[in-house]
Amino acid sequence: MSEIGETIRTTCPRDCYDACGIVVVKRQGEIVRVKGDPEHPVSRGELCGKCAVAYNGAWIDRQTRLTQPLKRIGAKGEGRFMPTSWDEAIATICQQLQEILFTSDGRGILHTHYTGTCSLIAGFFPLRFFNRIGATEVDPDTVCNKAGHVALQMVFGDSLTGFDPRTAKDAACILVWGANPSSSAPHAHKHWLPEAPGKIIAIDPIKHPTAAAADLHLQPFPGSDGALAFALLHVIQREGLLNETFLDKHTTGWSEVRSLLPDCTPQWGEAVTGVPAALIEEAAILYGRGPSLLWLGQGLQRQPTGGNVFRACSLLAIATGNFGKPGTGLLYMNGFANRGIDADYLSAPHLNSGDFHSISHMDLTARLEDPANSRALFCWNNNIVASSPQQRQLRQVLSREDLFMVSLDLFATDTTDYADIVLPAASFLEFDDLVFSYFNYSISAQVKAAEPMGESLPNQEIFRRLAAAIEFTEPELFESDAAIIASLLKQTGTGIDFAQLAAKGTIDFTPEPIIQFADYKFATPSGKIEIASDQFAAVGLPRSPQPFADARPSNGKLRVLSPASPWLMNSVYGNDSRVLKLIGEANVTINPQEAKQRGLQDGSPVILSNETGHLPLKVKLSNQVPCGVALVYKGRWLKFDASSANVNVLNPGHKTDLAESSCVHSIEVEIVPAVGSQSEIGRF
Ligand SMILES: Nc1nc2c(c(=O)[nH]1)N[C@H]1C(S)=C(S)[C@@H](COP(=O)(O)OP(=O)(O)OC[C@H]3O[C@@H](n4cnc5c(=O)[nH]c(N)nc54)[C@H](O)[C@@H]3O)O[C@H]1N2
Ligand SMILES: Nc1nc2c(c(=O)[nH]1)N[C@H]1C(S)=C(S)[C@@H](COP(=O)(O)OP(=O)(O)OC[C@H]3O[C@@H](n4cnc5c(=O)[nH]c(N)nc54)[C@H](O)[C@@H]3O)O[C@H]1N2
Ligand code: SF4
Ligand SMILES: [Mo]
């Protein structure tokens, strides 16, 4: 180690597949450097670019962090505040909550939260408080991945037990479908995939670096994956690669799919998806011979028929019997329950004495337009103004003077600007917690490396203080971090305590790779994998998966994909000065041919527009993006762009076919050259 000083080992708790090990270097009590842990199996001494920059930038910068509770003095959205004391802030919130709870139940108090931090206590403990007051939860997964979860739960009885990445050593093929590890799992892209002995197939409309490095890249038009899955299955059947024994023994409803296959030839597949028939053949045979791993990304299901897409894509693993053996399985996410954690212990749903109320993120704006049913709003671990749909309309309703809004964050975001009270949250470098990767089966320590900056406090402590002020007495609301960590580690059955875990940084849950569905038991009503069943009909879906593809945009419109940027983590880091330089001006990437047809050039100012909003951007040209598609990364901060908007200003917030989830990758827009000055454009 080049720096001399105290070092502390901890873990990155961002919403990222990698869960990197970190070393924090301190000198004279101050953090001087945050870097990758050389002994950590994932980070291997290197953080991703964005964290290397921002953990040594905005995250430890007193000028950028929120360090005091604030109360609003300007108009909502203006971002003018004055400092206040914790006592006064808590007393104000307490008084507002009591007023609401005195005259009604808690359902008029809404709260949004997500994965600002994914450590277990800071991510889940606050739910105990919201359960106690009977608040309405804006269902976090509906803005991200719920259609995929519910589809897999219905088919397999579980969406949170995936393959163990360590079993890649036994796989002849890894199919990465609608995920972009080069952005969203940078170390899996850099180490795990290249080191896997098997062939890599990527299926993605964008030729991102993972797709470019793959042995095969299939580039379907967005939203056509259901059809592509059926064309692949057609070849798998024709080549005798179906596992009939597995299908007979462990599944229901295969006959309903089989009857659809004859028409789904590779030539038909090419016409519907745009993927050449020869590539469909090659990929089907490679995957079908196996053993194969199937990684279903979260981008894949953000489509109008995202539920059907997931049912159809998972058929590949089912029809070839790629379960229960080394080198096989399917991964969406690995949840912490598969390492023994009891989610109900963390969030204490029993504290809610009434019914549990929840709404979709897609309905948040509409709910806030109804003052009688939305009197207060808490946002924590979540930046709704940057991330949620209907951005312009959402900002309008957040301006309601009668909406009491509280926002907890590390930074003064586009969302905190609307709050009446802003509470400063401590960062992961400033308190102990636990991190469970959602890719591999690891258990990691988040270790306090410094005191909370200024007067900031960990989320959990803020809600303990609120519970005390409101004179709640349930012990669950006051349990200490140390006690929770001890209970959670006990639940894992690993026998390790926090001090031992902190010394190691990360441990594997088991010494050997876990084999997914090794016992062939499925927690579905029939106990089998439900390819077709009445449960789907009951929620208005076809009984079996279908070879669907979305209609292509008409009238010269483009389909907008707005996936993860390599330099941002959702909206996190979008305020770091060096990251701002790295991401440059807001742009839209299109194919050079597309640009030529439209008379556009690299750097041309354009306006993207649809019925929901308008967004001025600069054109960037790249062959990574196919014709008909526009790539605009998610996560920019509105306040740093002249347009005062990001891509979600174009997002109508339509719902998927299942679970009221986001189909954000189905936005369609017109693209026209911008005329006039930047300030005129900014009026949109
Ligand atoms: N157009 C488009 N929009 C999308 C998506 C897309 O693909 N395209 N993806 C969607 C997806 S997948 C998701 S998950 C959502 C994510 O949407 P958000 O949950 O809004 O994600 P972030 O922008 O990361 O916001 C998290 C906030 O938590 C704060 N934070 C970090 N640590 C802490 C902490 O310890 N305590 C507190 N109180 N705050 C903390 C951060 O500073 C940040 O402001 O966005 C969705 N929006
Ligand atoms: N750097 C970085 N890392 C992140 C995040 C981030 O914002 N930045 N966000 C985190 C979060 S919240 C999440 S949910 C994950 C998401 O990470 P991923 O699971 O990788 O999901 P996305 O980035 O939304 O999209 C992945 C890919 O899906 C593709 N895609 C879109 N539509 C279709 C389609 O119809 N068919 C197919 N086959 N592919 C399609 C996109 O082109 C994109 O390349 O990443 C996490 N990690
Ligand atoms: S965001 Fe992901 S890649 Fe970057 S340091 Fe954190 S865990 Fe590692
Ligand atoms: Mo997400």
Three-state DSSP class for residue 593? helix
Q: In what order do the strands lie in the sheet with 173-177?
A: 216-218, 199-203, 173-177, 292-296, 329-331
Residue bearing the CA closest to ligand 2, atom 17:
184
Task: Report pLDDT digits (tens) over 204-238.
Answer: 999 999 999 999 999 999 999 999 999 999 999 99
Ligand 2 and 568: CB distance under 6 A:
yes
Q: Are residues 133 and 192 in the same domain?
A: no
Ligand 1 and 382: CB distance under 6 A:
yes
C-alpha of residue 439 to centroid of ligand 1, in Å: 19
C-alpha of residue 97 to centroid of ligand 1, in Å: 25
Place of tokens 């797709």: 211
Helix 459-469 to helix 126-133 angle (10° resolution) is 30
Is residue 39 one of the residues assigned to a domain? no
Supply the pLDDT for residue 620.
98
Q: Are residues 289 and 431 in the same domain?
A: no
CB 512, CB 506: distance < 8 Å: no
Is residue 381 one of the residues assigned to a domain? yes
Query: Nearest ligand, CA of residue 191?
Result: 3
Q: Are residues 285 and 192 in the same domain?
A: yes
Is residue 3 one of the residues assigned to a domain? no
The per-residue DSSP string of 95-159 comes to: HHHHHHHHHS-GGGEEEEE--SS-SHHHHHTHHHHHHHHTPEEEEGGGGTTHHHHHHHHHHHS-S
- What separation, in Å, do the N-terminal and C-terminal C-alpha atoms of the chain show? 51
Task: Report pLDDT digits (tens) over 549-577.
Answer: 999 999 999 999 999 999 999 999 999 99
Amino acid at 529: I
Q: Are residues 165 and 294 in the same domain?
A: yes
| Separation between Cα atoms, residue 428 and residue 127, nearest integer Å | 18
Ligand 2 and 625: CB distance under 6 A:
no
Question: What is the Cα 426 distance to its own chain's centre?
Answer: 22
Q: Are residues 221 and 245 in the same domain?
A: yes
Residue 682 has pLDDT above 80, yes or no: no
Supply the pLDDT for residue 675.
84
What's the total number of domains in the chain?
3
Helix (H) or strand (E) holding 343: helix 343-347
Which residues neighbour ligand 4 (ion) by CB within 5 Å?
144
Q: Are residues 171 and 206 in the same domain?
A: yes
CB 34, CB 48: distance < 8 Å: no
CB 464, CB 46: distance < 8 Å: no
Residue 499 has pLDDT above 70, yes or no: yes
Instruction: For residue 678, name the pLDDT band (cuts at 50, 70, 90).
Output: very low
CB 139, CB 360: distance < 8 Å: yes
| Separation between Cα atoms, residue 11 and residue 503, nearest integer Å | 12
Residue bearing the CA closest to ligand 2, atom 16:
298
Is residue 9 one of the residues assigned to a domain? no
Among 55, 204, 552, which residue has the most ligand 2 atoms within 8 Å of its CB, making it the best to mutate?
204
Task: Report pLDDT digits (tens) over 151-204.
Answer: 999 999 999 999 999 999 999 999 999 999 999 999 999 999 999 999 999 999
Task: Report pLDDT digits (tens) over 136-162.
Answer: 999 999 999 999 999 999 999 999 999
| Separation between Cα atoms, residue 563 and residue 625, nearest integer Å | 13
Is residue 214 one of the residues assigned to a domain? yes
435 CB-side CA count, 13 A: 30
Ligand 1 and 380: CB distance under 6 A:
yes
Among 17, 61, 70, 143, which residue has the most ligand 1 atoms within 8 Å of its CB, making it the best to mutate?
143
Nearest residue to 666 (alpha-carbon basis) of 147, 184, 207, 154: 147
Ligand 2 and 178: CB distance under 6 A:
yes
Instruction: For residue 527, name the pLDDT band (cuts at 50, 70, 90).
Output: very high
Residue 679 has pLDDT above 90, yes or no: no
Place of tokens 């964050």: 409
Q: Are residues 313 and 407 in the same domain?
A: no
Among the atoms of ligand 2, which is closest to the Cα of residue 566? 1
Q: Are residues 199 and 294 in the same domain?
A: yes
Q: Are residues 198 and 258 in the same domain?
A: yes
Average pLDDT, the chain: 97
Q: Are residues 381 and 463 in the same domain?
A: yes
Is residue 229 one of the residues assigned to a domain? yes
Nearest residue to 370 (alpha-carbon basis) of 107, 63, 670, 565: 107
Q: Are residues 321 and 460 in the same domain?
A: no
**Any residues with Cβ below 6 Å from ligand 3, and which?**
12, 14, 16, 18-20, 43, 47-48, 51, 186-187, 569
Domain holding 423, by residue range, is: 70-143+347-442+453-479
The CATH number for 206's domain is: 3.40.228.10
Average pLDDT over residues 629-639: 98
Tell me the whole-structure pTM to 2 decimals: 0.98
The CATH number for 362's domain is: 3.40.50.740
Three-state DSSP class for residue 40? coil
| Separation between Cα atoms, residue 490 and residue 644, nearest integer Å | 48
Residue 377 has pLDDT above 70, yes or no: yes
